[in-house]
Amino acid sequence: MVGLLLAGSCCLIYNIATVAFVNNGWTLNNQISTEKILASSWWVLKSVLFEELIFRGALLYIAIKRLGMLKACLLSAVCFGIYHWFSYNAFSNVAQMIIIFFMTAIAGLMFACSFAKTNSLYLPIGLHFGWNFVSTVVFSNGPFGTQLFTKINNEQPHGVLSLLFFLFQVFALPAFTFWYLRRLSKRQNPFPDKMQFPPA
**197 pLDDT above the threshold of 60:** no
**193 pLDDT above the threshold of 70:** no
Tell me what the mean pLDDT of segment 40-58 comes to.
93
Tell me what the mean pLDDT of segment 180-194 comes to.
69
State residue 87's pLDDT score: 86
CA distance 44 to 7: 14
Q: What is the pTM of this model?
A: 0.87
- Residues 83-111 pLDDT 10s: 999 988 888 889 999 999 999 999 999 99
Give percent of the chain above pLDDT 90.
75
**62 pLDDT above the threshold of 60:** yes
Confidence of residue 188 (pLDDT cuts 50, 70, 90): low
**196 pLDDT above the threshold of 80:** no
State residue 58's pLDDT score: 83
**13 pLDDT above the threshold of 50:** yes
Task: Point out the least confidently predicted range of 94-98, 117-121, 185-189.
Answer: 185-189
CB 141 within 8 A of CB 135: yes
- Residues 122-159 pLDDT 10s: 999 999 999 999 999 999 998 888 999 999 998 999 99
Sketch the domain layout of the chain as residue ranges: 2-7+33-150+166-188
**60 pLDDT above the threshold of 50:** yes
Confidence of residue 198 (pLDDT cuts 50, 70, 90): very low
**190 pLDDT above the threshold of 60:** no
State residue 199's pLDDT score: 47
Burial call 36-55: b when 16+ CB within 10 Å, e when fewer:
beeebbebbeebbeebbeeb
**39 pLDDT above the threshold of 70:** yes
